[in-house]
Chain A
Amino acid sequence: MTKQATPTLAASLVGMSVLRVDDIPLLTGAGAYVGDVNRPGQVWARIVRSEIAHGRLLRVDVEAARRSAGVVGVFSGSDTPDVRIPLRLEWAATEATRAALQPPLARDRVRYVGEPVAVIVATSQYAAEDAAELVVVEIEELPPLVETRAAAENAHTVLHQTVGGNIVNRLVFGYGDAEAATRSAAVVIRERMDIHRHTGVPLETRGLVAEYEPESGRLTVWGPTKVKHFNRSALSGLLDIDEGRIRYVETDVGGGFGVRGEFYPEDFVIPWLAIRLERPVKWIEDRHEHFVATNHSREQSHDIELAVAEDGRFLALRDRNWIDLGAYVRTHGLTLPVSTALHMSGPYAWQALEIDSSAVMTNKTPSGTYRGPGIVEATFVRERLIDRAAAELGLDPAELRRRNMVPVEALPQRIELGHGVVRFLDSGDFPDAWDTFLEQAGYDDLCAERDAARVRGEHVGVGLAAYVEHGAVGPYEQARIVPEPGGHFAVSVGVSGVGQGVRTVLAQVAAQELGVPLEDVTVSHHDTDTIPGGFGAFASRGTVFGGSAIMLAARDLHKRAAAAAASQLGVPADEVTIEGARASAKGRSVPLLELGCAGEGRFEKATTEASFGASLALVALDPGTGKIDVRRFIVAYDVGRAVNPELVIGQLVGAAAQGIAGALMEELPFDETGQPLCTSFVDYLMPTAADLPYIDALILEYPALGNPLGARGAGEGGIDGTGGSIANAVADALGAAGVEVRALPLRPEDVKRLIRLAAGE
């Protein structure tokens, strides 16, 4: 793709790969991440965490720590208010779900290694760490629950007494008569499938700085992003402080991926300390803490069954699954089971669907949403089984998929799955998108390449995955545009930046709609003081919601300016033309700035935007080392309308890279006592440049009908099919032994075992 310099012509801004507006500070060291925020008189917090996975908390002795040099204060659970970190997403939550919410500091039990039990505040980070070593935590150990299905069935050891078991909700989703449909099937594939624990791991760990001004009663919090308005209201509720007195300031962010910026225990503790001590308090998570404290994700187990007719028509999909939520329900509540169920259908038409999902508590770090939550998992289990069905029916896997895609005539389609979950497909053309993908990816050529390699005796395979992501979640977003001196426009909007370039994309939309050059627009989303409300950055919503709200605000500004100019110039409003920063009529003109008007826009939408996606992997297995060499990886994704194609490609490629590593390398294992085995970059295998292939990303643009921009999400689509297509490629490379590919990750030791199986050993 060709690159363009920053254009000054506004007309074609949307759709142009302009350079990002924020890059120069980030490249010259002038960025300001939370670790770079320092306040006069600040003190440092250090969290003391449980080293035991499950037990009764008998005593937290802080006396020696309190006497340590530089210590300002030491607090344990009994010193803090008896509150729980609240739900942000309430769907399908019950009383049992809420009974498993987390206290900021453990009170009478500890339930995972890494659970906060005390906090040290000292004059330096070093002093705080020294003192943390002196805290004595006495725990009477209880049996740890580590394995998900075993925990679900265990009636003797229960993590949360008031829940009454280790399942915080069991949800049944679906429609149609799956049992009858299955009875009429020619082929039924049943399998147990498992996905391993891994997570987002942004390069910057979490951090917070909080400052309280006793005179004014104002509390300012730097650092959290993603959902700052929710976090502000949550903190306001927990501290019983009026929301208007709390200010959240977003800093530059070293990656989000779903895990950063949720309201965590520390998001209560650090502001609470700032008030209690009346001093600015700073906390920066270290990498070891990050691996035990920040949300994990992905760990699921499925008993899945696919029923297919003789002609290849999909009849029913039945799935019983166990979603491991770790030790507590965190802010996204039951999003993982809900999203897994919502995305189980993929782009296909099913006569019947039945999903029985248990959200399970175990003595491990709590799990939350990580880029493509539930989508990666659902796509892996479904797409693997589709390949098995294709093999049984003797059909090409691409053809079997194509035959079952929801046809364009069936759109829009709305299917209730239960518990308020709706599969809504508004527009697009799945079969056409699939054909385009196969052609552009060179599917036939890659299959020929595979066949030729096999003749040479190589273990090479091609794997496909198709999926639909229901992204761009509402409920609404609002924007405000104010003319400023010099022909500038200040745009404020309630979304969040997580390092993805959303400010550039929103500036493009604003400039285009206002008819001004990009450099005349400044977008801000950083400060809750200037933006009254907003929902932040999740579910690939920033461009769709932020962009649409900005379009409406720009139109509103033009309407108001035309009216004001009309009365000032003494002409009817429809004779006023607005060009850039001036309104004119009959040869006279007036700057918008002097008209004293601002534009407001609020974009609301109850439904999601569904995006079609597909990926293809070509892999070669090394029988000696078991290493999987991903020779080609191609992803295609429907973004409706690409505001900045290069940035979209950057999102797709970056997401695919994470997913490939998630399928092959990354893992968060625990031993049978609940001890985490990966707590540093030495054990957790993050992919380097040498580990990853070149990734091809194709942008598909089937305009969305539900928003003025015509856009769909882009942030997550690159990851959704990674596990599925890679597992299918590995299975293809193994031939008959490919049926054994039923779990992720696929590490070298797994591949060696499978190759021995394939060789009949």
Chain B
Amino acid sequence: MTRRIAIKVNGSWYEGDVEPRLLLSDFIRDVAGLTGTHVGCEHGVCGACTVQLDGAPVRSCLLLSVQADGREVTTVEGLQNAGGALHVLQQAFRETHALQCGFCSPGFLMSLEPLLRADGPAELTDAAIREALSGNLCRCTGYQNIVAAVQLALARRRGAA
């Protein structure tokens, strides 16, 4: 028993005949072929699979793809600006060494991106950033360079505003 669904991922529609139990993470990876969304636990704890559903961060391993039928998903592949320049957060991650293996990075980026939107906070304390990060696991960095990346990105956005 399958069901035909269509999900708009990073601006393009992807259609598939899917089993109702197919996870959104598997739709993104296998049907849409976008492998930047990683799966670290499949039980909703690690945050590696974080994508945005209609603009809000969600764990794609906790959603069924049928729940996203007709809706809009943004993955890490959709984060770069038109023209391919790195998003301010991606650039900051790179400059502050906020990644080692990089397996967690797409999830962090998609969780944190709302902080960098026009309506995001102007400033955050390190402690507040640590709270904001605490839904995503990173095993390599000890997190402090990720905190530094968010601070750098916030500072750049303030400078640009």
Note whether A and B form a binding pair: yes
Q: Which residues of A contact B (CB under 8 A)?
A: 3, 19-20, 22-24, 26-33, 35-36, 125-126, 200-205, 252-255, 257, 286-287, 498-501, 646-647, 650, 653-654, 656-658, 680-682, 686, 688-692, 694-695
Cβ contact within 8 Å between B102 and A27: yes
A35 to B48, CA, bound (A): 13
Task: Give the interface segment out of B62-70, B72-80, B113-121, B153-161.
Answer: B72-80
- Please measure, in the bound complex, the distance between the C-alpha atom of A286 and the C-alpha atom of B42, giving whole angstroms: 8
Distance of A23 Cα from B149 Cα, bound (Å) = 14
The answer on a CB contact under 8 Å between B90 and A501 is no
24 CB < 8 A contacts A-B: A3-B95, A22-B102, A23-B102, A26-B102, A27-B86, A27-B93, A29-B37, A29-B77, A31-B36, A33-B38, A200-B139, A202-B139, A203-B46, A203-B103, A203-B104, A203-B138, A253-B101, A254-B101, A287-B40, A653-B141, A681-B46, A682-B45, A688-B133, A692-B144
Q: How far is the CA of A286 from the CA of B22 in the complex (A)?
A: 16
Q: Which residues of A contact B80 (CB under 8 A)?
A: 28
- B124: which A residues are within 8 A, CB to CB? none
B95:A689 contact, CB within 8 angstroms: no
What is the minimal beta-carbon distance from B145 to any residue of chain A, in angstroms?
7
In angstroms, Cα B77 to Cα A736, docked, is: 57
Please state if A501 and B93 are interface contacts (CB–CB under 8 Å): no
**Is there an interface contact between B103 and A689, defined as CB atoms closer than 8 Å?**
no
Rounded to whole angstroms, the CA-CA distance of A255 and B48 in the bound complex is 13
B7 lies within 8 A of chain A by Cβ: no
Cβ-based interface call for B41 (8 A): yes
Residues of A within 8 A of B35 (CB): 29, 32-33, 35-36
- For the complex of A and B, the 8 pairs showing the least CB-CB separation, nearest first, are A29-B36, A499-B101, A26-B102, A657-B142, A254-B103, A681-B45, A36-B35, A689-B133
Residue B146 lies at the interface, judged by CB distance under 8 Å to chain A: yes
Given contacts A126-B19, A688-B134, contact A26 B77 (CB under 8 A): no
Give the secondary structure class of B's interface.
loop
Min distance, Cβ A176 to any Cβ of chain B, angstroms:
40
B residues adjacent to A (C-beta < 8 A): 19, 21-22, 26, 29, 34-43, 45-46, 48, 75-77, 79-80, 86, 90, 93-97, 99-106, 109, 126, 129-131, 133-147
Q: Which residue of A lies closest to B140 (CB)?
A: A654
Give the residue among A26, A126, A657, A686 with the most B Cβ atoms within 10 A. Answer: A26
**Cross-chain contact A692 with B143 (CB below 8 angstroms):** yes
Cross-chain contact B144 with A695 (CB below 8 angstroms): yes
Kindly list chain A residues whose C-beta atoms are within 8 Å of the C-beta of B106.
Answer: 29
Cβ contact within 8 Å between A654 and B39: no
| Complex: A686 Cα to B139 Cα, angstroms | 8
Q: Which of A28, A257, A688, A695 touches B77 (beta carbons < 8 Å)?
A: A28
CB-based contact A28/B90 at 8 Å: yes
Q: Which residues of A contact B138 (CB under 8 A)?
A: 203, 689
The answer to whether A26 touches B99 (Cβ under 8 A) is yes
Given A126-B19, A500-B100; A203-B142 close (CB under 8 Å) = no
Q: Which residues of the other chain, B, contact A23 by a CB distance below 8 angstroms?
A: 93-94, 99, 102
CA distance A204 to B103 in the complex (A): 7
A681 neighbours in B (Cβ, 8 Å): 41, 43, 45-46, 137
Known: A205-B40, A680-B43. A27 touches B139 (CB 8 A): no
Kindly list chain A residues whose C-beta atoms are within 8 Å of the C-beta of B131.
Answer: 689-690
- Indicate whether A653 sits within 8 Å of B144 (C-beta atoms), given known contacts A28-B77, A32-B35, A682-B45: yes
Q: Knowing A202-B101, A203-B138, A681-B46 touch, does A254 contact B38 (C-beta < 8 A)?
A: yes
Specify the main secondary structure of chain A where it touches its partner. loop
Structural contact, A24 and B130, CB atoms closer than 8 A? no
Q: Is the CB of B38 within 8 A of A650?
A: no
Task: Return chain A residues, CB-CB under 8 Å to B95.
Answer: 3, 19
Cα separation A22 to B103 with both chains bound (whole Å): 13
Say yes or no: A653 contacts B102, CB within 8 Å. no
Using Cβ atoms and an 8 Å threshold, which residues of chain B touch A22? Answer: 102
Q: What's the nearest-Cβ distance from chain B to residue A686, in Å?
A: 5
Query: Chain A: which residue is nearest B78 at the CB level?
Result: A29
Q: What is the CA–CA distance of A35 and B41 in the complex, to the nearest angstrom?
A: 13
Contact A689 to B143, CB < 8 A, known contacts A204-B101, A646-B97: yes
**Most A-side CB within 10 Å, residue of B48, B136, B144:** B144
Chain B residue contacts of A29, Cβ below 8 A: 34-37, 75-77, 106
Q: Check if A31 sits within 8 Å of B42, measured CB to CB.
A: no
Q: How far is the CA of A20 from the CA of B105 in the complex (A)?
A: 15
Q: Are the C-beta atoms of A204 and B147 separated by less than 8 Å?
A: no
With CB as the reference atom, state the residue of chain B lying closest to A656. Answer: B142
Contact A287:B42 (CB < 8 A) given known A203-B137, A653-B141, A688-B133: yes
Across-interface contacts of B48 in A (CB, < 8 A): 203
Nearest residue (CB) in A for B36 is: A29
Smallest beta-carbon distance A319→chain B, Å: 31
A203 and B40 within 8 A (CB):
yes
CB <8 Å contact, B137 and A499:
no
Docked pose: A253 CA to B102 CA in angstroms: 8
**Which residues of A sit under 8 angstroms from B102, Cβ to Cβ?**
22-23, 26-27, 31, 252, 254, 499
B100 touches A28 (CB 8 A): no
A255-B103 contact in complex given A203-B139, A688-B134, A690-B131, C-beta closer than 8 Å: yes
Please give me the residue from chain B that is nearest to A690 by CB atom: B134
Question: In the complex the two chains form, what is the Cα distance from A618 to B126 in whole Å?
Answer: 20
Q: Which residues of B contact A27 (CB under 8 A)?
A: 76, 86, 90, 93-94, 99, 102, 105, 109
- A284 and chain B: residue at smallest CB distance: B39
Distance in angstroms between the alpha carbons of A63 and B36 in the assembled complex: 38
Q: Which residue on chain B has the smallest CB distance to residue A649?
A: B97
Q: Kindly provide the distance from the CB of A303 to the nearest chain B CB, expressed in whole angstroms.
A: 33
Chain A residues, CB < 8 A from B79: 28
Q: How far is the CA of A559 from the CA of B23 in the complex (A)?
A: 58
Closest residue of A by beta carbon distance from B144: A694
Q: Is the CB of A499 within 8 A of B144?
A: no
Query: Are B100 and A499 in contact, CB atoms less than 8 angstroms apart?
Result: yes
CB distance from B71 to the nearest CB of A (A): 20
Instruction: Please indicate the chain B residues that have their CB under 8 angstroms from the CB of A30 in the complex.
Output: 36, 77
In the assembly, what is the distance between CA of A125 and CA of B79, in Å?
29
Q: How far is the CB of B107 from chain A (nearest CB, A)?
A: 9
Which chain B residues border A691 with CB–CB below 8 Å? 134
A708 vs chain B, min Cβ distance (A): 27
Please tell me if the beta carbons of A255 and B141 are within 8 angstroms of each other in the complex: no
A192 to B83, CA, bound (A): 63
Known: A29-B34, A688-B143. 17 other contacts (CB 8 A): A27-B76, A27-B109, A203-B48, A203-B104, A203-B138, A204-B40, A255-B103, A498-B101, A650-B97, A653-B142, A653-B145, A657-B142, A657-B143, A680-B43, A681-B137, A689-B147, A692-B144
Bound Cα distance A222, B38 (Å)? 18
Is A28 a contact partner of B144 (Cβ separation < 8 A)? Answer: no
Contacts of B38 in A (CB 8 A): 33, 35, 203-204, 254
For residue A24, which residues in chain B have a CB less than 8 angstroms away from its CB? Answer: 86, 94
B105, B126, B139: which has the most chain A beta carbons within 10 Å? B139
Q: In the complex, A658 Cα to B75 Cα: how many Å?
A: 29
Instruction: Provide the bound-state CA to CA distance between A656 and B141, in Å.
Output: 10
Chain A residues near B135 (CB-CB < 8 A): 688
